[in-house]
Each structure stands twice: as C-alpha cells, then as structure tokens.
Amino acid sequence: MSNKPTPSRATLAAQALGWSDEKTRGLVPPIYTSTTYLRDPDGGYRSGRIYTRADNPSFDLPEAMITTLEGGAGSLVYSSGMAAATAVFMNLQPGDHVIAPNIMYWGLRNWLKTSAIEWGLDVDFVDGEDSEAFAKCLRKDQTKIVWIETPANPTWAISDIAAIAEIAHSAGARLAVDSTVATPVLTRPIEHGADIVMHSATKYLNGHSDVLAGTLTTAQSDDFWERLVNRRASAGATLGPFEAWLLVRGMRTLYLRVERACRTAQRLAEHFSGHAKISRVYYPGLPGHPGHDIAARQMTGGFGGMLSVSVEGGMKAAVAVAAKTKLWHRATSLGGVESLIEHRASIEGPDSPVPPDLLRLSVGIEDPDDLIADLEQAL
C-alpha cells in the first residue's frame, strides 16, 4: 500500500499535472502546429490523429487539466466561451425545451432569445436564485437542458446547484453550469450534481487577457457527450494550438490569481458597503447578499473576484465614475491580472435587465489599497 500523498489541485495545476516531455525532458509542452497527420501504408491512422479540426496534441494537456480540476470524466476545448456554451444547446433537437436564468452572460442570453429559437428550441427564462421557479417551469421528458450561471454576471446572483440539479434530474433533464466566475478553485459543480460545466476560458482559466477560448467538462461519458465530441470535430469550433498552449500556461497560476482576486474583492466589497456615494454593493461574500448562505455552502476559499456597485445619482453618475478612474481600465471582459471597470447597461443595450446605475468590477492582482484609492478619487 502506497504512502505517497495525493497532490492538491493547486499543486496539480501549478505543475500541469506533472507533465514533461519523455524525449527531451522539457518541462514546458511544445506547440503542435501540424494540421494533418500521415496515414499508415494500409490507409489507417494508428497514431489516433487524423486532422487538427477533430484533434490536436496541443489540446490534450489543457483538456486533461480542466478535467482533473473539475473532477469530471472528460473535457473539450473550444474556440471561445460562446462556442462552448452554444454547442450544448445545438446538441439538442428542434422542439426540445430549455430553461435559463434571467440574469446571465448577456451574449448567451441574446443567443438563446434569437438563434436558439431559430434552431427550433423552446426557451424559458426564470429567476436563477429561485430553485422552485425551475421546478415550476420543467416539462417532464421535454426539458432537456437546465442552464444556470453562478455567480451570475453582473449582479453575482447565486443559484443552488445541488437543489436545481435534483429538480432537473427529476424531469430527465441535464444541468449545465456556467462556472466561469467561480472557477474550479471555488466551486466544482459536478460535486453538487451538475452534468456539464462550462467555462469561458478567456477569463480566469487563462487569466491574462490574451486568449479567446472555452471549455466543456462532463460528469460522465455518455451519448450526449459523444455527440458533442463529434459535433466539435465536424463543425470546427476548435481552439488554435498556440491558444491551447497559452491556456495551459495560464492555468498553472490559476489558484494564485483567483485567491488574490477573492481577497481583494472581499475587501473592496466591505469597504464600499455603506459608502455615501454607493447605494448598493453586489457581492456574495457580504452577509447581506441574498445568496450568501448558499454561496458559503458551495464555494470554498472565497466568493470570487467579481463585484458590482450601484452609484448614487443614477446612470449619469455611474458613467462619470468609470470615466474618472486611473488604474481601473475601462474595458469589457473579466478574470485577467488587470482590474477592469464597465458600465454594463450601456454595453448590453435597451433590453438589459441590469440596473442603469451599476458598474461591474473585475478585480485583478494589483495592490488593493491602490484600487480602493482610485475608486475613491473617482467617486
């Protein structure tokens, strides 16, 4: 019986699962740029590689890493988070029913309201914080996917993964979780009953604002998953080999970055709660947040590096604050090493459910005192 300790997930991420090149003993994986592979004399492919649209050796390590970190049975990397998310829904049949939350990433919400309908799907939106709302909307044997995002962008609403998983499974549906903000550092949805975990790997997994990528991880290898594997190969929403290499590099520092961002976000949330010029702070780490108790149960090690604030004076005042920041960068995205600020209602358009006075803050790894001082001078 071996007494060898099992490395923590943080160690496995930092060491890229202990990868090294057997031939050269290199610790950094190479980038495989070949788009095609030689056939054997009999026409076969004993190497298992045929064409890079279906597979590339550069995918192996990032897929293995995210599978290990999420505790899943397999993963796929995609060319973007949207490519990964929409692949789940395009794996369904016309007439299938799906349920999604009202508050979620606006790009996917818009896709579900337009392209998914054109695809033939029947889509309902409910309050993602209300588990019973999902139960009331379920259609036995017709609802195929229940989709949640937790914490949900940009109010950081919390959905109860375990409760909604049980509800979805009671009707024969799968639960898919967008866990981009939580990352496997804070939440592993499969442990709470989720069937599929999606990440916009552009964000925290890569963490350096220089890669566009997405991932899906499955709890089990079944027919649904095999269709996703085959569809990626045929539809071509694959990641480039250089981006796959950069994704591995980013994931090696995932735990350090997320832990730092969580500490700073908690400090900012506490500092600006009750501030004279801030009417509300949206952060699940605050006891007053509606989803705090659930978040404390299903998130470990912190409550995420994202928070939002509503500025006294409405939309005009919020936009003015964002314009006056010096260290916070006015830019779309999240999860990078640099801190970003954005007025979400302006970005999402007139149909956005986001309060017009809300500013979304993506906390990076800078000195928290500097970030607080910059917001104070802007306010």
Asked whether residue 319 falls in the same domain as residue 278, the answer is yes
SS3 sequence of 176-229: EEECCCCHHHHCCHHHHCCCEEEECCCCCCCCCCCCCCEEEEECCCCHHHHHHH
Identify whether 222 is a catalytic site residue.
no
DSSP designation for 152: B
Q: Which residue among the candidates 105, 204, 255, 282 is catalytic per the annotation?
A: 105
Residue 227 lies in a domain: yes
Pairing of strands 306-311, 278-282: antiparallel
Which two three-digit tokens encode residue 207?
């963490």
Which pLDDT score, from 0 to 100, does residue 52 have?
A: 86
- Over the stretch 309-338, which tens digit does the pLDDT of each residue have? 999 999 999 999 999 999 999 999 999 999
Q: Which residue among the candidates 96, 178, 357, 374 is catalytic per the annotation?
A: 178
Number of domain units in the chain: 2
Last residue of a domain, one of 230, 251, 272: 251
- Over the stretch 37-91, which tens digit does the pLDDT of each residue have? 888 888 788 778 888 888 899 999 999 999 999 999 999 999 999 999 999 999 9
Q: Which domain holds residue 143?
A: 16-251
Q: What is the mean pLDDT of the chain?
A: 95
Asked whether residue 57 falls in the same domain as residue 139, the answer is yes
Both ends of the chain: CA-CA distance in Å?
Answer: 61
Asked whether residue 243 falls in the same domain as residue 294, the answer is no
- CATH code at 297? 3.90.1150.10
Q: What pTM was estimated for this model as a whole?
A: 0.95
Which pLDDT score, from 0 to 100, does residue 2 have?
A: 56
Nearest to 110 by CA among 85, 129, 135: 85
Residue 3 lies in a domain: no
Last residue of a domain, one of 200, 223, 251: 251
Residue 49 lies in a domain: yes
Residue 5 lies in a domain: no
Q: Which residue among the candidates 203, 257, 260, 360 is catalytic per the annotation?
A: 203
Q: Which residue among the candidates 49, 53, 252, 267 is catalytic per the annotation?
A: 53
Q: How far apart are CA 194 and CA 189, in angstroms?
A: 5
Residue 64 lies in a domain: yes
Below-70 pLDDT ranges, the chain: 1-3
Identify whether 51 is a catalytic site residue.
no
Identify whether 39 is a catalytic site residue.
no
Identify whether 53 is a catalytic site residue.
yes
Asked whether residue 264 falls in the same domain as residue 130, the answer is no
Q: Which amino acid is at 352?
A: S
Last residue of a domain, one of 251, 274, 291: 251
Asked whether residue 232 falls in the same domain as residue 282, the answer is no
Which pLDDT score, from 0 to 100, does residue 23 have?
A: 87
Residue ranges of E strands in the chain: 74-78, 97-101, 122-126, 143-149, 174-178, 196-199, 214-218, 278-282, 306-311, 329-330, 340-343, 358-362
Asked whether residue 134 falls in the same domain as residue 188, the answer is yes
- CATH code at 168? 3.40.640.10
